[in-house]
């Protein structure tokens, strides 16, 4: 494998954004287009989150090692190695994206994403280490991607007509930042019965399964309180993730907040 790059970091959620940036920059240099780079970021995010939350759940001193490189002229490779207890994530039963939001289980979506986003996924247990190898075929010339200085999420609110509250999200919603979004949802749903929350993704550049779980939880709580959660302003890369997991068939999704208010799905 040529152009090998190595990164080792402590198995903590706050270190995942830097790991994703490391992989994204290597993927861009390898020749992946913007969509391919995003897929690699998301797959590595999901894999590392799974390792930290499950493999190292009781071990605060765990380490994760990343190796990236190029096989031949057409394949970008990411190897994720850790010494947590042996576990093959590829044997985990895949969740069904056709199942409605009210019946969905919380786990399994990270592995589902990895399989869908990458072209080849392989697991081996070698020298007392879990070795997850991800391969993405290089099909296009590289396109500058750009990386945020900080992996932060921004939240603002706008009160709209007819008991609608618009919540504007920005930045990256992942395992490190999703708790901030969850806190905002919980506060509004608790104090505002029968409210319809319109969640605008106009400024969201990234969302992982951790963020999607928060969205499902908010939808359930809002429905229990006589309200709803509506989605607006999805960017193409975020829409792709929603379609992949079946959210396009579960949530009411609109071009913008004004269209959501005009449609008024609760009373139509």
Domain span including residue 160:
153-263
pLDDT value of residue 96: 66
Q: What is the pLDDT of residues 44-69, one digit of tens each?
A: 999 999 999 999 988 878 999 999 99
Structure tokens at 153: 């999420």
Same domain, 117 and 158: no
Q: What is the pLDDT of residues 17-26, one digit of tens each?
A: 999 999 999 9
CATH number for the domain spanning 177: value is: 3.30.750.24
Same domain, 61 and 111: yes
Last residue of a domain, one of 111, 137, 163: 137
Same domain, 45 and 110: yes
CATH number for the domain spanning 13: value is: 3.30.565.10
Q: Measured between alpha carbons, how far is 86 from 89 in angstroms, rounded to an integer? A: 10
- Is 194 a member of any domain? yes
Same domain, 33 and 58: yes
- Is 268 a member of any domain? no
Q: Does 264 score more than 70 pLDDT?
A: no
Which pairing describes strands 75-82 and 63-71: parallel, antiparallel, or unpaired?
antiparallel
Of 172, 195, 186, give the one whose Cα is nearest residue 266. 195
141 or 116: which leads in pLDDT: 116
Of 38, 35, 66, give the one whose Cα is nearest residue 51. 66
Same domain, 205 and 247: yes
Same domain, 165 and 226: yes
pLDDT value of residue 67: 97
Q: Does 41 score more than 50 pLDDT?
A: yes
Same domain, 185 and 254: yes
Same domain, 109 and 10: yes
Same domain, 22 and 73: yes
**% of the chain exceeding 90 in pLDDT:** 54
Q: Does 148 score more than 60 pLDDT?
A: no
Of 212, 261, 249, 255, give the one whose Cα is nearest residue 106. 212
Number of domains in the chain: 2
Last residue of a domain, one of 137, 170, 190: 137
171: left (phi over 0), alpha (psi -120 to 50) or beta: left
- Is 105 a member of any domain? yes
Alpha-carbon torsion 136, 174, 12, 123, what sign? negative
Mean pLDDT of the chain: 86
Which whole number is the average pLDDT over 227-254?
Answer: 90
Q: How far is CA 123 from CA 7, 11, 42, 117, in A?
A: 19, 19, 18, 16
**% of the chain exceeding 70 in pLDDT:** 88
Same domain, 161 and 193: yes
**pTM for this one?**
0.71
Of 216, 204, 218, 203, give the one whose Cα is nearest residue 246. 216
Alpha-carbon torsion 132, 109, 248, 19, what sign? negative
Same domain, 198 and 248: yes
Number of neighbouring beta carbons within 10 Å of residue 85: 13
pLDDT value of residue 65: 97
Q: Which residues contact 151 (CB under 8 A, 6 or more apart)?
A: 17, 171, 172, 174, 176, 177
Which whole number is the average pLDDT over 243-248?
Answer: 85
Which whole number is the average pLDDT over 224-241?
Answer: 92
Structure tokens at 187: 């506060």
Q: What is the pLDDT of residues 67-104, one digit of tens each?
A: 999 998 789 999 999 999 999 988 877 766 666 666 66
- Is 142 a member of any domain? no
Residue with tokens 């590289």, as numbered in its chain = 142
Same domain, 24 and 67: yes
Last residue of a domain, one of 137, 172, 201: 137
Structure tokens at 197: 């929350």
Q: Does 145 score more than 50 pLDDT?
A: no
């Amino acid at each position: 494998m040529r152009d090998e790059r190595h990164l080792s970091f402590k198995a903590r959620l706050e270190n995942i954004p830097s790991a994703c940036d490391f992989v994204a920059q290597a993927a861009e240099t390898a020749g992946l287009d913007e969509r391919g780079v995003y897929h690699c970021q998301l797959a590595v995010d999901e894999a590392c989150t799974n390792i930290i939350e499950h493999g190292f759940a009781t071990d605060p001193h765990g380490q994760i090692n990343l190796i990236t490189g190029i096989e031949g002229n057409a394949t970008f490779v990411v190897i994720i190695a850790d010494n947590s207890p042996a576990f093959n994530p590829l044997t985990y039963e895949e969740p069904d994206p056709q199942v409605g939001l009210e019946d969905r289980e919380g786990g399994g979506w990270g592995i589902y994403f990895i399989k869908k986003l990458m072209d080849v996924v392989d697991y081996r247990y070698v020298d007392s280490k879990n070795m997850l190898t991800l391969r993405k075929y290089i099909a296009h010339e590289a396109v500058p991607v750009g990386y945020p200085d900080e992996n932060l999420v921004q939240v603002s609110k706008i009160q709209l007509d007819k008991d609608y509250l618009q919540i504007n999200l920005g930045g990256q919603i992942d395992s490190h930042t999703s708790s901030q979004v969850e806190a905002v949802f919980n506060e509004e749903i608790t104090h505002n019965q029968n409210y319809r929350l319109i969640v605008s993704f106009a400024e969201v550049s990234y969302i992982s399964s951790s963020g999607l779980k928060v969205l499902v939880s908010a939808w359930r709580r809002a429905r229990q309180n006589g309200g709803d959660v509506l989605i607006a302003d999805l960017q193409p890369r975020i829409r792709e993730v929603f379609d992949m997991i079946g959210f396009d068939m579960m949530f009411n999704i609109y071009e913008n907040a004004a269209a959501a208010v005009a449609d008024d799905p609760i009373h139509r």
